[in-house]
Amino acid sequence: MTTAENPMQKIITRCWEDEAFKKRLMADPAKTIDAEGVRIPAGVSIRVVEDTDQVRTLIIPPAPSHLDDDQLKRITGGRDMPIPCGHSDFCPPHFNDIRR
């Protein structure tokens, strides 16, 4: 999926360009995201935080459920190591080492 096709990236880009939109997003994330056509599943809440030059946010995703070795190989395409996320230089160091 390219950046242009990613609806959340479009929302982030709009925040950079439109301060009023960013304020609405931060005040009422679910309503603002829904208005952009991105459906939030029932029971899921959204929290928006803004990084600054001095503050970065580390997102800890939910722990994966237990998978056996065969399931892991199917998910990773047979790779023995994780695929780097490619988000930024703030990814865990081992991801940055793999990317280079």
Q: Which pairs with CB-CB distance under 8 Å and at least 24 residues apart come from 23-29?
A: 26/50
Could you tell me if 46 and 70 lie in one domain?
no
Total domains, the chain? 2
Q: What is the arithmetic mean of pLDDT over 27-35?
A: 95
Does residue 58 lie in a domain region?
Answer: no
Nearest to 59 by CA among 46, 72, 41: 46
In the DSSP assignment, the letter for residue 5 is G
- pLDDT tens string 12-26: 999 999 999 999 999
Burial 45-82 (b: 16+ CB within 10 A, else e): eeeeeeeeeeeeeeeeeeeeeeeeeeeeeeeeeeeeee
Instruction: Examine residue 5 and state whether it is found in any structural domain, yes or no.
Output: yes
Range of the domain at 39: 1-51
Give this prediction's pTM: 0.59
pLDDT tens-digit profile of 58-96? Answer: 998 888 777 777 877 777 766 555 555 555 444 444 444
- Do 45 and 1 fall into the same domain? yes
Domain annotation covers residue 96 = yes
Q: Supply 62's token pair.
A: 């939910």
79 within domain boundaries: yes
Q: For position 37, what pLDDT does the model report?
A: 92
pLDDT band at residue 10 under the 50/70/90 scheme: very high
